[in-house]
Amino acid sequence: MNEETHRRGAAPALEGAGAVAGSRRPPHPRGPSAPAPGRDAVLNIIGVHLYLENANGEVLLGLRHPDSAYAGSTWHFLAGHCERESAVACLVREAREEAGLVIDAKDLEFVHAVHLVDTPGKQPRMQMVFRARRWTGMPEILEPDKCVSWSWWRPEALPEPIVPYTRTAIEGIQAGRLYTERGWS
């Protein structure tokens, strides 16, 4: 590396086996955590979750329908899966569809992610949690086949049963952490 390259912070061009002409970094490593494309790759499901806190510092949670495919009769965030849309657009849509809440995308801020494997061998999930500091409307039951009630809870006195990663995310947000992993052992 010459002195000028060093001062600008640029990396020297690579030479030798595996280097691409003009390349400035090594090729992507392949290993257990980075399988070759198309071979043994396991895609992650992306979920979005709404963290709403009222003026009393209570967090909004919904009680999932007993026959729900996931976590029946368990407390959870208002949530959804991205469907060919951005995470923020998904959450704005889900808030309106599930609870009648109107949220402007600019009023959402990312506050926590939980990267988890719920059950060994199952598809991993990236659960992204966003806080809305402003919204319009009161939570309503608009999808009674998914959620049977909405309630506000103190973060230090969350209901049981609660989806474990929901508790993990709330604890992380309260502690100011942005990221938690669960089930990767």
Q: Where are the domains of the chain?
A: 45-182
Per-residue pLDDT at 184 = 87
Ranking 15-24, 105-114, 119-128, 161-170 by mean pLDDT, the lowest is 15-24
Q: Is 159 left (phi over 0), alpha (psi -120 to 50) or beta?
A: beta
Per-residue pLDDT at 41 = 85
Residue type, 78: L
How much of the chain exceeds pLDDT 70, in percent? 79
Mean pLDDT across the stretch 138-146?
96
Task: Using the predicted structure, report yes or no on whether residue 12 has a pLDDT greater than 50.
Answer: no
Mean pLDDT across the stretch 53-68?
97
Q: What is the pLDDT of residues 79-131, one digit of tens each?
A: 999 989 999 999 999 999 999 999 999 999 999 999 999 888 889 999 999 99
Q: Is 40 exposed, middle or buried (0-12, 13-18, 19+ CB in 10 A)?
A: exposed
CATH class held by domain 45-182: alpha beta
Mean pLDDT across the stretch 152-162?
98
- Element holding 115 (H helix, E strand): strand 108-116
Q: What are the φ and ψ backbone dihedral angles of 143, each rounded to 5 degrees?
A: -130, 75
Distance of CA 132 to the CA centre of its chain: 14
Mean pLDDT across the stretch 18-31?
46
| pTM (2 d.p.) | 0.78
Mean pLDDT over each residue of the chain, to the nearest integer: 85
